[in-house]
Structure 1
Amino acid sequence: MILKRTAMLGIVLGAALTGTAVLPAFADETSTPAGIKDFQAQSLIKADGTYWEWGGNHPAPTQVPGLNEVAASFENGLVVKEDQSVWHWEYKNATTVVVEEIPSLHQLCQVLDIGNALIALEQGGNVYTIPRNEEGKLNWNMIAAVDKLKDISAISSYYTEPQGKMMLLFLKKDGSLWSSDENLQSINPVKTAGNVKSINGNYVLLADGTVQVFPAMGNASWATVTPPTILPLKDIQLIKTNRISNAAVDGQHRLWFWGNTLTGVSDGTVLHEHKTPVMLNGIRNVKEVFLVERSLVVLTHDGKVYGTSLDGESLPANAKFSLLASDIREVAAGGRHIIMQTNTGALWGWGINKLAEQGTGDYEYMHHMPVPMQPPVTVVLNGQPVALNNGVIIRHSQAFVPIRSVFEQLGAKVDWDVNSKTVTISKSGTTAADAVTIKIQFPQGTTMVNGKASVFDTAPFNLSATSYLPLRFISESLGAKVEWIKEDNRIAITN
């Protein structure tokens, strides 16, 4: 089986795990996000119930305006508020966010995107579908309950071999398993070797700690339907799969691997199948396991994060695991990166960051060492929160904000000259002597205030077609007062 991959991917991830990376100390106090209630691979909820996301055009955590009292978040812009109501949000353009309640849903606990629709599961066990139209937009007016599915506790999906057909598995609260294709036209009970504890992809963890597998693309070509295939594993507590590679943790906190390792890059990527699970004796005391691109990453019970590369023809039992971070209490994994939370509450990123997946305020392709994430900073002007189209970026203890996010609200006029790449911020006064004109020329960041040069430890900068300006300096130059409240990562501006 051949997979398309970015040409450098296997190289950089393999290089990232050749040595030991120890979690560095914070550069400054603003690196520690205060009051994080919950976080995912590309979003977080602060203790005050505000919702923040990053990635793509947002290199730092950016608050989604209009969303408050958020308790949980899911993919495709769905969140659950503290009153268990369900809301949907999306960007209509670069600066406009539309937030609306979805009254048909309540107490959401899982969302699964199957391409032509979303499948939503409520805590009570009811299942709903939200179809997509021909343009790929979700049709919220066509939400429908799946009447044949009740008392469901979890949903998973996988693709069959060789047709590449999607199949869905539904785990009921009584431990029975049901299956359907992606159109939900035929929903039938599935024969299992016992009561089911959990499901992940095409893998079924039974209550007795054994593992049953159904035929799927790439990672189970040896599986048969009748009789059910049982892997030679016992006392398993946790299974993870990314449809290519698989891992499990047993009751003795040992790590097992089977499935595929990879060699080659781009169109030349080759999968090397390993049918028999192997216990990896280079790691112990495993609490969680994550399959991140071409890496196997684990969180141990003593708060350490280790990784080993899956880039090779095999993964031997004595595979070397490198230390990535210490003092970690929780990890959230995306397909290409991880976000780690330290015991102090700080968030750090590691892995691929090509699309700012880690919220670290940059677009470095790969972070070989853990990097502190940018804090979710709230900007308040005269007591009212300011909606930023991009989040605050902290560099060398200075807060930088997008060019038009605050200064126009301070009564200034902001102009951008595309030819000279110069931004001009001007504010008139009661007299000519009170007027202020600030000119910043990019990419050097050269700054002139009323014709006099100003020098910064960190100059204004451009990042992904957005100009970032020093918040305190410009605000105070415009006559405002700026205060940093570190307890809740808030910048208060008054004028």
Structure 2
Amino acid sequence: MKRRGLLLSIITLLLISPRVWAAGNDSTSHIRSYDSGSLIQSDGSLWLWGYNQSVPTRVEGKPNVIKTFSNIINEGDLVFTLQDHSAWYVPRNNISESVKFVPLEGLQNLAAVSSLNDHVLALTNEGSIFLADQLDNRNISSPFQTLSGIDEVADIVSYYEERPDYEERWIFLKKDGSVWKNTTALQGFEPISPLKDITAIAKNIALKKDGTVWTWPKEFDKNAAPSETLAVSQIQALSGIKTIKANRYSNLAIDQQGRLWFWGATVTGALDNTTYHNTNIPVLLTGVQDVKDAFFVERSLLALTTAGNVYVASLDGEKLSSHVPFTLLVQNIQSIKAGPRHVIMQKANDALWGWGVNKHAQLGIGDYEFLYNTPVPVQKPILVRLNSTPVPLSNGVITRNGQAFIPLRSVFDQLGADITYDFNSKIAKMNQSKAGDHPVSLEINFKTSQTKVNGKSVELTNPPFMVNGIGYLPLRLISETLGAKVDWIQKEDTIVITTK
């Protein structure tokens, strides 16, 4: 079949065909793992969303992805490793830029990545630490170099010490349960001597094997002696603890009974008038029980229970009462991955849902609404194949009102069509006029939804739309008599366009 016939068939598919289909909610999940802005399918393919990608979009040329590490430097940043143990960095700090992939030279068998100020530290499965610098644009500079003086590391965390200027502080949990810290810059290391048999660290707190929690100062008087940094003390109110969490301002602990404890800062005001109110004594939060996991998100506290319920409480106010109300947010959740301002949750049926700030499409639902106060479903990762070949998409397939929409340019580019777009008039034009073919043209006005095929107006039941400058058209089932066939392979979440 000639290109002209296929092109006209797909235009007909998009505009005229009588029956509409889309990805059903009962499609089999192929998600092997996920993070706050990415997922890995069972075939090893990586899908990203956020910034230029408003829904999960397949990454081309990077098969066999094994693991992801998110929010390394900026929210949305990603590091991932391949089956060959190589590591790659994806900076996502500029919404106007397309996705870039930077090889992290010198890194193999990556276990964790952390950044602070001018440095990025990487931990390998063998327990070695590697160091790289951050560039002026807050991206990672490669290659990584071995950081000498510290080894057999199981985990790393970082924070700023105030003395009164901010100083970069790195904490290392070794495999033998000891805890170490850097001295000057990253030139020397010393043990935090009283700490032994430690199983977890979070900022300036540590969890001991016996369930006790220990801490050391991170704020000092300007006349404080350096030795005060090692003034470790037990947090007496906490015992039988199994999990600790911390962000820059606050801390959480979950005990063996599934009770949730909080200490640190609550918040009042906004922007330049933001004030943090600190409480050093842990408060038992009685409004939620049987807690499995907990998270700080923006100015909220989320708790996931063993029953799969997610509850939310506000951190607004001068003090957090032990009786702070927790509101049921969603049910049937098996796990949560949190970004600084949003969460992605996986339900018992493996479907992903998002909640929180969506300014940069962090929730992967196909729009840039700033905030969602109720959970919304992340769009399914849908593959498009043209004659058995995957079609590279600038943005993934979007489903709305039970119907599928595909990016105009992605498919027609594969057919050799010329595509133009006028930003002022919001009119897209597609032309195919190669030698030996009859001319085929498509014109779409995204302001009025008026659509013309070969100069003739076509009535659209489902109008096209634009998301972040990407034009979308509805995908319809095409009759075999038109010369091209489109199938929805539900068990594979795949749209297949084939020609005879």
Same fold, judged at TM 0.5 (above): yes
Is 1:263–1:311's contact at 8 Å kept on the other side of the alignment?
yes
Is 2:218–2:229's contact at 8 Å kept on the other side of the alignment?
no
The structure 1 segments of at least 4 consecutive aligned residues displaced by more than 6 Å after TM superposition are 429-432, 473-478
Q: How far has the Cα of 1:408 moved from its partner?
A: 2.1
Residues 1:151 and 1:431: Cα distance change in structure 2 (over 3 Å) = closer
DSSP-derived class of the 1:60 partner: strand
DSSP-derived class of the 2:166 partner: coil
Kindly indicate whether residue 68 of structure 2 is the aligned counterpart of residue 68 of structure 1. Answer: no
CA RMSD of aligned residues (A): 2.7
Deviations 1:252-303 (A, max 9, x none): 0100011111111111111111121111111000000000010000111111
Aligned to 1:5: none
DSSP-derived class of the 2:39 partner: strand
Deviations 1:83-122 (A, max 9, x none): 433334568984574464x462221110001232211101
Aligned to 1:408: 413
Aligned to 1:151: 152
Residues 1:429 and 1:483: Cα distance change in structure 2 (over 3 Å) = farther
Q: Give the letter aligned to residue 111 of structure 2.
A: C
Deviations 1:276-333 (A, max 9, x none): 1111111000000000010000111111111111111221111111111111111000
DSSP-derived class of the 1:487 partner: helix
Kindly indicate whether residue 432 of structure 2 is the aligned counterpart of residue 437 of structure 1. Answer: no
Q: Give the letter aligned to residue 160 of structure 2.
A: Y
Aligned to 1:51: 46
Trace 1:24-423 onto structure 2 (pairs within 5 A).
29=24, 34-74=29-69, 75=72, 76-89=77-90, 94-95=97-98, 97-98=100-101, 100=103, 102=104, 104-133=106-135, 136-141=138-143, 143-161=144-162, 162-181=164-183, 183-216=185-218, 225=229, 227-231=231-235, 232-423=237-428
Is 1:167–1:182's contact at 8 Å kept on the other side of the alignment?
no
Identity between Structure 1 and Structure 2 (%): 40
Residues 1:339 and 1:164: Cα distance change in structure 2 (over 3 Å) = same
Is 1:168–1:182's contact at 8 Å kept on the other side of the alignment?
no
Deviates more, 1:348-357 or 1:176-185: 176-185
Q: Distance in 1 between matches of 2:267 and 2:53?
A: 31
Residues 1:99 and 1:380: Cα distance change in structure 2 (over 3 Å) = farther
Is 1:33–1:347's contact at 8 Å kept on the other side of the alignment?
no
Q: Distance in 2 between matches of 1:290 and 1:475?
A: 50
Is 1:110–1:121's contact at 8 Å kept on the other side of the alignment?
yes
Q: Distance in 2 between matches of 1:490 and 1:419?
A: 35
Q: Distance in 1 between matches of 2:126 and 2:321?
A: 44
Q: Distance in 2 between matches of 1:28 and 1:46?
A: 17
Q: How far has the Cα of 1:368 moved from its partner?
A: 1.0
Gapped regions of structure 2 (runs ≥ 5): 1-21, 221-227
Q: Distance in 1 between matches of 2:312 and 2:211?
A: 25
Is 2:262–2:282's contact at 8 Å kept on the other side of the alignment?
yes
DSSP-derived class of the 1:444 partner: coil
DSSP-derived class of the 1:267 partner: helix
Q: Distance in 2 between matches of 1:164 and 1:390?
A: 41
Q: Distance in 2 between matches of 1:402 and 1:476?
A: 23
Aligned to 1:4: none
Q: Give the letter aligned to residue 201 of structure 1.
A: K
Q: Distance in 1 between matches of 2:117 and 2:184?
A: 9
Aligned residues: 461
DSSP-derived class of the 1:405 partner: helix
Aligned to 1:459: 463
Q: Distance in 2 between matches of 1:133 and 1:366?
A: 31
Residues 1:177 and 1:47: Cα distance change in structure 2 (over 3 Å) = same
DSSP-derived class of the 1:253 partner: coil
Residues 1:30 and 1:411: Cα distance change in structure 2 (over 3 Å) = farther
Q: Distance in 2 between matches of 1:293 and 1:132?
A: 25
Q: Give the letter aligned to residue 465 of structure 1.
A: G
Gapped regions of structure 1 (runs ≥ 5): 1-26, 219-223
Task: Calculate the TM-score normalised by the size of structure 1.
Answer: 0.86
Q: Distance in 1 between matches of 2:196 and 2:100?
A: 47
Residues 1:135 and 1:423: Cα distance change in structure 2 (over 3 Å) = closer
